[in-house]
Amino acid sequence: MKQLRQDPDVAYAQLDTRKYAADVMPNDPQLPIYQWDLLNTVGGIHGPEAWGESTGEGVVVAVLDTGYRPHADLKDNLLPGYDFVSSYGQSEDDPDIAGDGDGRDPDASDPGDWTDASMPWCGSTEDSTWHGTHVAGTVAAMTNNGRDVAGTAWGAKVQPVRVLGHCGGFTSDIADAIVWAAGGTIEGVPANPTPADVINMSLGGSGACTEDPATQEAIDFAVAQGTTVVVAAGNQGADAAGFSPASCRNVISVGATGVGGRIASYSNFGATVTLAAPGGDTDNSGGIAKGAVWSTSNAGTTVPGDDALVGMMGTSMASPHVAGIVALMQSAAVGAGRPALTPAQVRQMLVDSARVFPVAPPAARPIGAGLADAGRAVQLALGNPLPLPSLQNGVTSVAINGAAGDSVSYRFDVPAGTRSINLRTLGGEGMSVCMPRPAWNPPSMTPNTARAGQAMRR
């Protein structure tokens, strides 16, 4: 090739490489049947639009949850993790949350988190959830292997970090796990050989993060290391400001939507929610089976049994979609020779790339900037601009949401010779409309700003 390129009679010489369709559809059999959440559906994350550019290769996603089961459609994408559950019934005052007969150790496998009447601190009788295995599968189930389901970022690796057992887990264990997952030092625990680029926490408890400084300090440490922290907004149908880590600073807090893109009936909401992703609901779904998020799980009702695929609903299911999208973004950026994205850049790109909600959430229940979109987010990570959404004459644009400091750009086409434009903005706090001076403006048209609730005629 070097010799050819030096020949003045040769226009160019290059490798005849392969190219693929921008939309990639893996061959996992359950993907087109049940995984509306990943596909280019009304309520999906538009995964195929991203997979042609990135599958998350080279990225580590730590899943802080109940641990893992070695499901056949997940096991090859698992890294060694750690069990941080320290409480295992050493005394009457120490509830056996661990359920595995020991405290912290390198075995992050899930022994089951069932509850019964012998566990008075739980208050209910429930089967094991295998929650961590389900969440991990949504992030990075083995994909294009002709079996079971697909993952959001199947080229990424999941590091299971066990922090939840019977009846949940303690803040002290979770905070230590956050620090360890991000590469920090925890006394008595070996160093993490594969620090996470992304941490997913599909967990939470009541109380604002301002009352939970241990968790906030751990999150701040992780973010300072360059680790993006993604958390579930919660399933209480309440303001997420009253829950932690959903209301912590420096996290990406994820609300949930159903098949039709409508806010899920259970999803927490409010100003602390960054954006939404598929969590499952029965809206427009034709029933619970196809309205749920399906992923890897286990058939055991208490202790582990056979591999299974299970449909679940919750912001716990929404959060790993976003964690997977972050993995796609990081892999795309680094693979293109760009610097790794900072957590702040990741957050802004997720906000900027979010699609307008197909069904606007009620004004009293906002769930962030819009619906997570993997294809658009990856394009921003690659440094490619997104096409601006268009405003149409006489058509109201709704569900324009954002946090303090966010901005949203639109375009509109004005016929030549037009001498006046009318824009009207209603609702919101602190909202403004800014018009730059286009090249076609007559001299009388100058930039101006209209406050929310005002009409602007220029």
Q: Is 65 a catalytic residue?
A: yes
Q: Is 131 a catalytic residue?
A: yes
Residue 372 exposed, middle or buried by CB count within 10 Å (0-12, 13-18, 19+):
buried
Q: Is the pTM of this model over 0.85?
A: no
Phi (first) and psi of residue 5, to 5 degrees: -70, -20
| pLDDT score, position 97 | 87
Q: Whole-number mean pLDDT of the chain?
A: 88
State yes or no: pLDDT of 447 exceeds 80. no
| pLDDT score, position 121 | 79
| CA end-to-end distance (rounded Å), the chain | 59
If we measure between CA atoms, which residue out of 71, 164, 77 comes closest to residue 112? 164
Kindly give the pairing relationship between strand 422-424 and strand 455-457.
Answer: antiparallel
Strand blocks (E) in 239-337: 243-244, 252-257, 275-278, 293-298, 307-312
If we measure between CA atoms, which residue out of 266, 254, 280, 369 comes closest to residue 36? 280
| pLDDT score, position 427 | 63
- Find the catalytic residue in 28, 46, 54, 65: 65
Mean pLDDT of 432-448: 49
The total of other beta-carbon atoms located within 10 Å of residue 362's CB is 9
Residue 440 — pLDDT band, cuts 50, 70, 90?
Answer: very low
If we measure between CA atoms, which residue out of 449, 414, 200, 137 comes closest to residue 326? 200
| pLDDT score, position 364 | 95
Kindly give the pairing relationship between strand 243-244 and strand 205-206.
Answer: antiparallel
| pLDDT score, position 441 | 44
Q: Is 148 a catalytic residue?
A: no
Between 93 and 372, residue with greater pLDDT: 372
Q: What is the pLDDT of residues 68-80, one digit of tens each?
A: 999 999 999 999 9
Phi (first) and psi of residue 115, to 5 degrees: -130, 150
- Find the catalytic residue in 316, 319, 331, 353: 316
Q: What domains appear along the chain, each with residue ranges and CATH number?
A: 31-381 (3.40.50.200)
- Find the catalytic residue in 46, 71, 131, 134: 131
Q: What is the pLDDT of residues 183-218, one digit of tens each?
A: 999 999 999 999 999 999 999 999 999 999 999 999
Q: What is the pLDDT of residues 151-172, one digit of tens each?
A: 999 999 999 999 999 999 999 9
Q: What is the pLDDT of residues 16-34, one digit of tens each?
A: 765 544 568 999 999 999 9
CA separation for the pair 304, 288 (Å, rounded): 25
If we measure between CA atoms, which residue out of 185, 191, 216 comes closest to residue 201? 216
State yes or no: pLDDT of 454 exceeds 70. no
CA 319 to chain centroid: 4
Mean pLDDT of 93-113: 89
